[in-house]
Structure 1
Amino acid sequence: MGRPVRDRVRRLREWRPAPPPLPDHLEPVLRDTDPEWFARELAIAAAPPWDGWLLALRRLSWLVDLFGRVEITGGIPDELRRGPLLLAANHVGDFDPFLIAVALHRLGVVPRIMATGGIMSAPVAGPVLERAGGIRVERGTEVARHAVRVTEVALVHGGHVVAYPEGRVGLSPDWWPERGRTGLARLALGVGVPVIPVSQWGAQDVLQYGNDWGKLRTLARSLVRRPVLRVHVGPPVYLEDLRPGRVGDANRARMRIAAAITRGLVPLRAAAAPLRPDPTRPTTGAAAFPGGVVPEDIP
């Protein structure tokens, strides 16, 4: 590889869209020990949605329809679309962020999606996702708290943040959502924003779990078979009786969110074709509500 080619590759890997300026009121938040991306993500979280992201949602959402038939049920009340929202979704595979982004945009919101640090660090795709309002989650590291701060800023500025309570692609043997962690619940209680449950099914047929050539095979197969990609947006989860910091309330909120997502998923799975096995997907997780059965005593 000649030097001109190497230089072009290097410039491509280092390219990123210019972020908006950091507002003065967020300058005191920064510390010398913060990662280099933190200031950018704070500035993006405080700014209105990027025109490039809005254009992509309007003009390129048809690409998702190539890989399946998108069906959307439920909705978001007009008064909630104008304010901050936490949208809590089950995670069935690598394709579902695209599906959820398109579905939510068709319902009138502009999603900012929480994503793993590995995706956000990828060349080209990572910087574009970051500029579109993606929030980097470095799970299990000392900088994981930065995601909470960026999310708080996005919500204070009226953002619509999509989060996965499970914290990963769900790995329960029966594909029902896992209980997840309390991070999203604590965030919802602390900031005091509505939590909208988003249940989705079908995206697992577009991209297999394992990162090998089988991903391309399942992607190509979906172009022919076009599985039904179902998304249901339910009513806000009732959290008004819970308080931040009160013992047990974060866990109660977590279970209510998992219950709402599971309830919304039941009719989607009932209407779907039999589940296609994915031999690359581990089954090491545990469903919050095995079999999709949510007890009546969970509000």
Structure 2
Amino acid sequence: MMLGRGLTRLLSRLEVTGDTGYETGHGLILAVNHISPFDPIALTAACSKRGIAPRFMAQEGLFTARVIGPFMRHSGHIRVDRNKPTAAQALTDAHAALAEGSAVVVYPEGRIGLDPGLWPERGKTGTGRLAIATGAQLIPVAIWGSHEVLPYAAPAGMWPMIWRNVRHRPTVRVHFGPPLDLSDVDSARPGVAQRITDRLMDAIIEELIPLRAEEPETPRFVDPTRAPETRRSHRRIVS
């Protein structure tokens, strides 16, 4: 967490807002929109400000990487082996972490989003299924500004941006929303995981709107390494 705080302070200005009154001693699922490789670093620093020790669900490549791999393996983070027979193990490990009272960070979109306006894409149902199985508090978290810190294709194009950011640190905003109210959800109904996921993505968008109030449609900063697409765009909320 010290590394996350240090890098965030060096490369950006972090603003953290939102809820702090989550039930203690119970697992938290922190569900966050994903717009940049810098998101986990900034979110680690934001969680530190809120007294939360996050455990990230992250793709297998981060656990085998030469530099960051040992840190990921020894810090309690949860490996996700995509499109492999072992993929289901990630949900089992997340279930165990939540039972211990940990805060598990998930990216419901399953990737860094490619929506042209950097609005969240459709969420995958794994987050909804995890919430149903564990009964953990499901917290929508919004992040904005991290796309100005590291490019989509990092390490490609990374060093010019880092040099710029050290001199002119962009603002990264993180907002912790209230727990999602699932009291009306019937976990036995077909399609319930998708309904929870859709409700979650709507909540993340609601939290994101004020963070980017000056950029409601198109971000001011355009990352040349990001190839936009709309195939997985989530429905937009207009407010």
TM range (shorter): over 0.9
1:261 maps onto 2:199 in alignment:
no
Match of 1:73 in 2: 17
Kindly state the Cα deviation for residue 284 of structure 1 after the two structures are TM-superposed: 2.2
Task: Please give the TM-score of this superposition, normalised by the length of structure 2.
Answer: 0.92
1:160 maps onto 2:103 in alignment:
yes
Kindly state the Cα deviation for residue 74 of structure 1 after the two structures are TM-superposed: 0.3
Q: How does 1:15-164 map to 2 (within 5 A)?
A: 57-58=1-2, 61-78=5-22, 80-164=23-107
Q: Return the structure number with greater relative CO, CA threshold 8 A, min gap 6.
A: 2
Match of 2:125 in 1: 182
1:288 maps onto 2:234 in alignment:
yes
CA RMSD of aligned residues (A): 1.8
Q: Distance in 1 between matches of 2:206 and 2:79?
A: 29
Q: Which has the larger radius of gyration?
A: 1
Which amino acid is 2:227 matched to?
A: P
Kindly state the Cα deviation for residue 102 of structure 1 after the two structures are TM-superposed: 0.9
Q: Distance in 2 between matches of 1:210 and 1:89?
A: 20
Kindly state the Cα deviation for residue 247 of structure 1 after the two structures are TM-superposed: 0.6
Q: Distance in 1 between matches of 2:68 and 2:224?
A: 28
Larger mean Cα displacement after TM superposition, 101-110 or 85-94: 101-110
Paired positions, count: 236
Q: Distance in 2 between matches of 1:278 and 1:60?
A: 23
Aligned-partner SS, 1:109: coil
Aligned-partner SS, 2:85: coil
Unpaired stretches in structure 1, ≥5 consecutive residues: 1-56, 295-299
Q: Are the equivalent residues in 2 in contact too, given 1:176–1:289 (CA < 8 A)?
A: no
Q: Distance in 1 between matches of 2:4 and 2:126?
A: 32
Deviating beyond 6 angstroms after TM superposition, the runs of 4 or more aligned structure 1 residues are none
Kindly state the Cα deviation for residue 83 of structure 1 after the two structures are TM-superposed: 1.4
Structure with the higher fraction of residues in helix conformation: 1
Could you give the per-residue CA deviations for residues 213-247 of structure 1, whole angstroms, max 9, x where no partner exists? 41121122111120000000000111122233421
Q: Are the equivalent residues in 1 in contact too, given 2:7–2:41 (CA < 8 A)?
A: no
Rate the CA distance shift 1:140–1:293 in 2: closer, same or farther, 3 A: farther
Q: Are the equivalent residues in 2 in contact too, given 1:172–1:178 (CA < 8 A)?
A: yes
Aligned-partner SS, 1:270: coil
Q: Distance in 1 between matches of 2:77 and 2:238?
A: 33
Aligned-partner SS, 2:108: coil
Aligned-partner SS, 2:122: coil
Larger mean Cα displacement after TM superposition, 88-97 or 119-128: 119-128
Q: Distance in 2 between matches of 1:284 and 1:261?
A: 20
